Structure 1
Amino acid sequence: MSEVAPRTDEAVPAAAHAAPGAGTRPIIELVDVSRIYPNGETVVRALDRVSLAIHPGEFVAIMGQSGSGKSTLMNIVGCLDRASSGTYRVDGVDVADLDADALAELRCSTFGFVFQRYNLLPSLTAAENVEIPAIYAGTPKEERVERAHLLLARLGLGERSEHRPSQLSGGQQQRVSISRALMNAAPVILADEPTGALDTRSGEDVLALLSELNAEGHTVILITHDPDVAAHARRIVRFQDGRIVADERHESEPARAPMPASGPARRGGLARFLPDLAEAVRMAFASMHANIFRTALTLLGIVIGVASVITMLAVGDGGKQSVLERISQIGTNLLIVRPGAAGIRSSGDNATLLPEDADALAAIPGVSAIAPERSGRYTMRYGSEDYFTSVSGTTPDYLAARDWQIARGVMFTNADVRAYAPVVVLGQTVARNLFGEDDPIGRHVLVKNVPYEVIGVLSPRGANAFGQDQDDMALVPLSTGFVRVFGRQFLNSITVKVADAGDIPKVESAITRIIAERHQAEDFQVRNTAQFLETAMETQNTLTLVLGCVAAISLLVAGIGVMNIMLVSVTERTREIGIRMATGARMSNIMLQFNTEALVVCSVGGAVGVGLGLAAALGLEAMGVTIVLSLMPPLVAFGCAFLTGLVFGYLPARKAAGLDPVVALAYE
């Protein structure tokens, strides 16, 4: 017999009806619970002071038409929503005292949800969908995989466990949903219109399965508007306008042993975090595969950014090394004395620097070599070949001062200087243009119609820091040059090499003092090549920094693109987030999942970008561009990509974690 409440405008106290295990504590207990929603200047009372007690092992149908408040009741009972007022206890625990993560723990251990629209994740197989609650319970992978297959086999889906939801019928999908609800051995099954989207036969099968689960001790709460469906329950609670208007119980309900009101205990600490992280990485790759084209476009920005950083830094470091090598060829412990006051550009026609000045400087302590020099550009001839080049008169110390070597032949000697010997040492460029592949040693060339015997060829140097070809020159004894080439005995420069770099300031001071005393005027200037090197390196470092910043900007833009894509992904996957929350995902689980997805995208893009950047740098090297590859730029670039994922993935992850489970589940 059914027992109907005598009044329809007031809630019917649940305590008025005897229940199985009535002497035990209710597993679900609501006292004067109301749920109010603002609606403009008015409010909607979805639940109005509802009191209801459900004991372990009951099979209760919550029945009512659309808008009666039954779905709102289920959301509150399942800890997906909170009451506006009143008291709600689960197994004696007041949920008002629980935060979002504690509610997630409660959903994970106590409730199993069976939804009208199944709410299966389309990208996962049936077994993977069933596993979801166990993932958030921290169950080891082998254990949950085995249990998922056992549950599916029990419900007749053993052969369909690896099929995706789109490959299953409606009845089969609902069985997967029920298997998921049972995954954590939840004592309470919440079924929201479980037959609403099924045909009659499939609906009967699902109801029979719920009755079987109830017989095993599960507390089943069935939400429905169909009296035929509600008739399968042992107790029917009728709702109207947010209130309980009837609470009917079948007198023949048998006694049964209830399920314990607690599920598997969650692990904590590192033992929990590492499996969660592994699952987040796995789900991230699955999400990337499900949206492969969008993932490729997202990766493209990261790849270009990382590759640009590596290539730009390799080119910048190569340019810096090239400048360093060229300046080092000049010499780094050199002081160069030139005629003319400081700040005034002067030529060798300025008669302020004399060979005697070089002789005076040679006596300074710490000087290892000194090379006076006078140069000019003249035409050299061999046979019918003419070549216009730089001819420099100097001393044998020129090679020591400039750290230069003889490739073939010999350098002229001090005896040649004293004897005004008509000999010449050619640079590689001059020798190649006048003699081609022939050996120039012992041949004679003409300079101003005076024959000079070629006694040596300098080793190749290449271009200097200013891009000038250092091999485009010829050396003659200084005395010979004064008499036969230049005509006047003035110097262009005096190169002084200091043995110890630490003595450079002292030697420079001595040079300035000696020449000033000799000339009785500051008609000369002393240049320190070490300072020139430092200035050049600072300039090159600035250029490298600019190149790196330009590349880093592209990485920043790519990061913003990742954030936008992830925000779009959160919106598209709002319902998925709701499903995960309903099955026990905490805020930290959702944060970890979406932040991990951003990190995985950026890490994969970073790895591909490192490879592409190295390939591009090597390609430029093959084209003749000087590059320097080192470990630091790839590490920095990959680290920046990883940091980009961490920073720009945080906002979408926080947005996902902050979603209301009820709103997320209702999202279309």
Structure 2
Amino acid sequence: MSTSATRSAPGAVPARPAPPETPIIELVDVSRIYPNGESVVRALDKVSLAIQPGEFVAIMGQSGSGKSTLMNIVGCLDRPSAGLYRVNGVDVEDLGPDELAELRCSTFGFVFQRYNLLPSLTAAENVAIPAIYAGMGREAREERAHALLARLGLGTRSEHRPNQLSGGQQQRVSIARALMNAAPVILADEPTGALDSRSGEEVLALLGELNAEGHTVILITHDPDVAAHARRVVRFQDGRIVSDERREGEPPRTPLPGTGPARRGGLARFVPDLAEAVRMAIASMTANLFRTALTLLGIVIGVASVITMLAVGDGGKQSVLERISQIGTNLLIVRPGAPGIRTAGDNATLLPDDAEALRSISGIDAIAPDRSGRYTLRYGSLDYFTTVTGTSPDYLAARDWTLSRGVMFTQADVRAYAPVVVLGQTVAQNLFGADDPLGRYILVKNVPYEVIGVLAPRGANAFGQDQDDVALVPLSTGFVRVFGRQFLNSVTVKVGNADDIPRVEAAITRILTERHQAEDFQVRNTAQFLETAMETQNTLTLVLGCVAAISLLVAGIGVMNIMLVSVTERTREIGIRMATGARMSNIMLQFNTEALVVCSVGGAVGVGLGLAAALGVEWMGATIVLSLMPPLLAFGCAFLTGLVFGYLPARKAAGLDPVVALAYE
């Protein structure tokens, strides 16, 4: 070109040179310092470096020269102690952990010396990991993973696990993983260090092809022969750049546009992430079946205990309430003796006329005075010792009792001192067996009584006493022929409406106090007795539930311990996931989900076992009550246990430093 051609016309404005392209990687006076006792180690010392899009750069140096530290900083796995680092003009110092994860996901693809493949996953699943954190759908990422493996000559090996692949094949899987999100920058840390020469050449050739396609390739190596494949070689020594050489005559590369796929946000991201977390949790559980079974055992026992104990407790409560209800509802029981004083033997302060005086109170459905004693009944040559109760015809109405056959004696029988008797089921069976007792005669104190009725069976009462072990006679007949003295053991008053009980109780107290000129009697409310019994049973049920809850708590602590062990064992896996773009929330979700899945599966098995155990207890003769609430409560507690006790291990996993996690042995 002639000199005149390069001169500007007089008065013309000189042409400005085109502005330089923004470096994709730019470091300005970057230092990385590590404390070492009282001194410090300068892994990087004021390093300045700019890498343009589409370059193939080799960072070369001996071990300890700082090249791997540089790669960790460039790949946003580590932060500089001082200096400025920009990616596509963005200052990394201003980015938080999740923003750095976003940058790793969309901009960088890592190729490690030791491959860093997850042994429990297939080659295709390893390749697809970055796409999970980019929010790519499952079908799309599987299709892309298989396509990448096919391109790299591993199409027939995509379903093989890492231990079924050679070193060169594993490194190709690692490269495919780096390409999964179409990351513009490939960071290769000693990619041939663990390979034979042939496999190493294949990997370097592949990196060259990727660079020719527009990828920016940064190659970390100590081998000059490996570095010779790059178009630019930056040599490090003692944490500083000692040379920066470019190969002349290489054609320019067209860099890849953009920075990889954009991640979805909000619910559109959470639902797929949760689904993947559940899938990975199940895979982790099946990979350690024995440990998972032991962890599940604690949850299963805890949930089953809650269901069984609550079923037994509720059954006991129902049994007690049924027995109390057999006494009768809306009842007031009047007994002789001053309040708060237990009487022994006969007490003559309550008389038949007192019972008659109470009939003037409105709202009363039935009044049944009674006097009881233990006597021998005889039929033929058979004797039976039982309770004989003299009472009125209202006794059955007051006690909500019915007859299985025959009739109850009447008020006319009471006035006539009739020698008739109504037998309980136990007495009838012991004296007559299978024979019909109606119309037969039995002897009570050598006086014959005609059997006119048999009571319906009632079973044991709240105190375990057999209510069917009784014989009823008219009160007048009992006074004259059985008991002798004419006073009562109690008066049972049945009130028609429960709301009237306080008024009727007050009226009874007033009338009897006026008649006796003293409060030498007690009025007991069966509703209060029922309430007291319910409170007692509720307390017992609560105690049983607390015992079961403690076992569930212990199981939760066991889950937390196992998960903490799992975090330690899988530290390198966590580092790999972070390097491929996992956010802290992804790691938190994964490990919390694993705890939730363990506890949910244990809870479901525990619910089934608890129901089976409760039915087994019922089969052995105990009373149980099965309802929907205890299984729901137990399963909910198991789920909450996973949520609470899985949080600490998940937080520990999410808080790991990616560099430290990747270096963990």
**Equivalent-residue separation in structure 2 for 1:610 and 1:445 (angstroms):** 56
Output the amino acid matched with 2:357.
Answer: A
- Answering whether residue 295 of structure 2 is matched by residue 298 of structure 1, we say yes
SS at match of 1:362: helix
Contact 1:374–1:394 under 8 Å retained in 2: yes
- Answering whether residue 481 of structure 2 is matched by residue 480 of structure 1, we say no
- Answering whether residue 383 of structure 2 is matched by residue 407 of structure 1, we say no
SS at match of 2:360: coil
Contact 1:332–1:533 under 8 Å retained in 2: no
Aligned twin of 2:310:
313
Output the amino acid matched with 2:628.
Answer: L
How many Å apart are 1:229 and its aligned residue? 1.1
**Equivalent-residue separation in structure 1 for 2:607 and 2:488 (angstroms):** 54
Contact 1:348–1:491 under 8 Å retained in 2: no
Query: What is the aligned counterpart of 2:81 among 67, 81, 84?
Result: 84
**Equivalent-residue separation in structure 1 for 2:416 and 2:194 (angstroms):** 114
1:214-363 correspondence to structure 2 within 5 Å: 214-346=211-343, 349-363=346-360
Q: In the comparison of the two structures, how many residue pairs are matched?
A: 648
**Equivalent-residue separation in structure 1 for 2:241 and 2:97 (angstroms):** 28
Task: Provide the TM-score with structure 1 as the length reference.
Answer: 0.96
Q: Deviations over 1:612-657 (max 9, x none)?
A: 1111111111111111111111111111111111111111111100
Query: What is the aligned counterpart of 1:65 among 58, 62, 65?
Result: 62
Contact 1:133–1:584 under 8 Å retained in 2: yes
- Answering whether residue 189 of structure 2 is matched by residue 192 of structure 1, we say yes
Output the amino acid matched with 1:124.
Answer: L
- Answering whether residue 662 of structure 2 is matched by residue 665 of structure 1, we say yes
Aligned twin of 1:448:
445
Q: Which runs of 5+ in 2 are unaligned?
A: 1-17
RMSD, matched Cα: 1.1
Aligned twin of 1:581:
578
Contact 1:348–1:490 under 8 Å retained in 2: no
Contact 1:91–1:261 under 8 Å retained in 2: no
How many Å apart are 1:23 and its aligned residue? 3.3
SS at match of 2:21: coil
Aligned twin of 2:424:
427
1:133-144 correspondence to structure 2 within 5 Å: 133-144=130-141
- Answering whether residue 16 of structure 2 is matched by residue 30 of structure 1, we say no
How many Å apart are 1:347 and its aligned residue? 5.1
Contact 1:339–1:348 under 8 Å retained in 2: no
How many Å apart are 1:384 and its aligned residue? 2.1
Query: What is the aligned counterpart of 1:464 among 461, 464, 469?
Result: 461
Output the amino acid matched with 2:121.
Answer: L
**Equivalent-residue separation in structure 2 for 1:313 and 1:155 (angstroms):** 61
Aligned twin of 2:111:
114
How many Å apart are 1:252 and its aligned residue? 2.4
Q: Which runs of 5+ in 1 are unaligned?
A: 1-20
How many Å apart are 1:205 and its aligned residue? 1.0
Task: Provide the TM-score with structure 2 as the length reference.
Answer: 0.96
SS at match of 2:466: coil
**Equivalent-residue separation in structure 2 for 1:124 and 1:377 (angstroms):** 82
Output the amino acid matched with 2:101.
Answer: A
Structure 1 runs of 4+ with >3 Å offset: none
Contact 1:348–1:374 under 8 Å retained in 2: no
**Equivalent-residue separation in structure 2 for 1:370 and 1:383 (angstroms):** 35
How many Å apart are 1:261 and its aligned residue? 4.2
Aligned twin of 1:74:
71
Output the amino acid matched with 2:362.
Answer: P
- Answering whether residue 504 of structure 2 is matched by residue 507 of structure 1, we say yes
How many Å apart are 1:233 and its aligned residue? 1.0
Percent identity between the two aligned chains? 88
Query: What is the aligned counterpart of 1:388 among 379, 385, 388?
Result: 385
Contact 1:45–1:242 under 8 Å retained in 2: yes
Aligned twin of 1:16:
none
- Answering whether residue 539 of structure 2 is matched by residue 542 of structure 1, we say yes
- Answering whether residue 598 of structure 2 is matched by residue 593 of structure 1, we say no
Q: Deviations over 1:229-269 (max 9, x none)?
A: 11111111111100111112111221121112411000001
**Equivalent-residue separation in structure 2 for 1:216 and 1:357 (angstroms):** 111
Query: What is the aligned counterpart of 1:556 among 539, 553, 557?
Result: 553
**Equivalent-residue separation in structure 1 for 2:525 and 2:125 (angstroms):** 73
SS at match of 1:232: coil
SS at match of 2:578: helix
**Equivalent-residue separation in structure 2 for 1:352 and 1:587 (angstroms):** 82
Output the amino acid matched with 2:321.
Answer: L
SS at match of 1:451: strand
SS at match of 2:230: coil
Output the amino acid matched with 2:611.
Answer: L
- Answering whether residue 516 of structure 2 is matched by residue 527 of structure 1, we say no
